Amino acid sequence: MNSTNVKAFGTTAPEADLKQLNIIRRDVTAKDVEIEILFCGVCHSDLHTARNEWGGTIYPNVPGHEIVGRILKVGSGVSKFKIGDLAGVGCLVDSCRECESCKEGLEQFCEKGNTQTYNGHEKQLNQQTFGGYSERVVVNEDFVLRIPKELDLAATAPLLCAGITTYSPLRHWNVGPGTKVGIVGIGGLGHMGVKIAKAMGAYVVVITTSAAKVTDAKRLGADEVILSKDAEQMKKNSGTLHFILDCVSAQHDINAYIKLLKRDGALALVGAPELPLPVAAFSLISGRKSFAGSLIGGIKETQEMLDFCGEHHITSDIEMINMQDINLAYDRLLKGDVKYRFVIDMASLKK
């Protein structure tokens, strides 16, 4: 298979800074599209993978799975896109397409293992996949998404991960008018959860450890804010929420939040704490409550999320950076020093 050298930014070791390097992209085949990457969001997963904090990182590693851009080329068999279209690529670029989950449009749960946008295995070139910190990407059209023209392109990039990560569980647990929803944590995920739950018609309650985030939570659309460090506020709100979306990746007492659920309520975890979270049996059985998890979304649901955000004019709150500032951005990300998502202007890679 023919291939092309492409300029990118990546790392060659866990302790090494990201720097400019060249990678190999396959040439467009019949069902592929080639996308000029205009903007790429920075996800905490990028940092974890680049520094091998989850293990299994293949080097050199080029992160980035919140990709938006414009289509440069289409293969002879492509029917869904044309040259010049705006397009997006999220966390997945392939799957087996044959298992039960794939047939139901749940490629994120592919039973044979999906192909992630970076640090996965590209079958065509028999090499690791490289992500969006690069000039261009080549992806099968079935894993490419349409970007609504109503939305700011840069601020749309984080929807490809943070947006679908929060939309999918809110949709699965039937959040809408008449439901009272708690969002735990206001960061890259949580701020999207607030916006989306509000647009779905729910009464939105932000639960945060920080009094400094009360004003911003209400700006984002929260109807109410609970300070989780205030025992009286937590007690007062016990048994009041139908659903809780937990967006916290740090260690925290999950039982304190489960107490806020009504009978038959559910808490879904989308943050990824490093260590297990102990769950007290009586937190669940006393109210027939559920503790669950959720992982991004399939391609069909991701497109549904983008269309929903287009209809409701929802994008991420972003801070734009140049590609050359990515190492500083990673340091700031570790400190929580961003409101609420970094996005790379990929034009800076050409400088």
162-293 CATH fold: Rossmann fold (3.40.50)
What percentage of the chain has pLDDT greater than the value 70?
100
Q: Can you give the pLDDT at residue 275?
A: 85
Q: Can you give the pLDDT at residue 272?
A: 86
Q: Judge if 3-160+317-350 and 162-293 fold alike in CATH terms.
A: no
Q: Which pTM does this prediction carry?
A: 0.95
Q: Can you give the pLDDT at residue 273?
A: 85
Return phi, psi of residue 21, to 5°: -150, 170
User: Would you write out the chain's pLDDT as a tens digit for each of its 351 residues?
Assistant: 677 899 999 999 999 999 999 999 999 999 999 999 999 999 999 999 999 988 999 999 999 999 999 999 999 999 999 999 999 999 999 999 999 999 999 999 999 999 999 999 998 889 999 999 999 999 999 999 999 999 999 999 999 999 999 999 999 999 999 999 999 999 999 999 999 999 999 999 999 998 989 999 999 999 999 999 999 999 999 999 999 999 998 899 999 999 999 999 999 999 988 889 999 999 999 999 999 999 999 999 999 999 999 999 999 999 999 999 999 999 999 988 999 999 999 999 987
**What pLDDT, in 10s, does the model give residues 292-328?**
999 999 999 999 999 999 999 999 999 999 999 999 9
- HEC states along the chain? CCEEEEEEEEECCCCCCCEEEEEEEECCCCCEEEEEEEEEECCHHHHHHHCCCCCCCCCCECCCCCEEEEEEEECCCCCCCCCCCEEEECCEEECCCCCHHHHCCCHHHCCCCCEECCCCEECCCCEECCCCCECEEEEEHHHCEECCCCCCHHHHHHHHCHHHHHHHHHHHCCCCCCCEEEEECCCCCHHHHHHHHHHCCCEEEEEECCHHHHHHHHHHCCCEEEECCCHHHHHHCCCCEEEEEECCCCCCCHHHHHCCEEEEEEEEECCCCCCCCCCCHHHHHCCCCEEEECCCCCHHHHHHHHHHHHHHCCCCCEEEEEHHHHHHHHHHHHCCCCCCEEEEEHHHHHC
**What pLDDT, in 10s, does the model give residues 175-198?**
999 999 999 999 999 999 999 999
Tokens matching residue 299 = 């391609």
21: number of Cβ within 10 Å? 17
Give domain limits for the chain.
Answer: 3-160+317-350, 162-293
CATH of 3-160+317-350, one of 3.90.180.10, 3.40.50.1400, 3.20.20.70, 3.40.50.20: 3.90.180.10
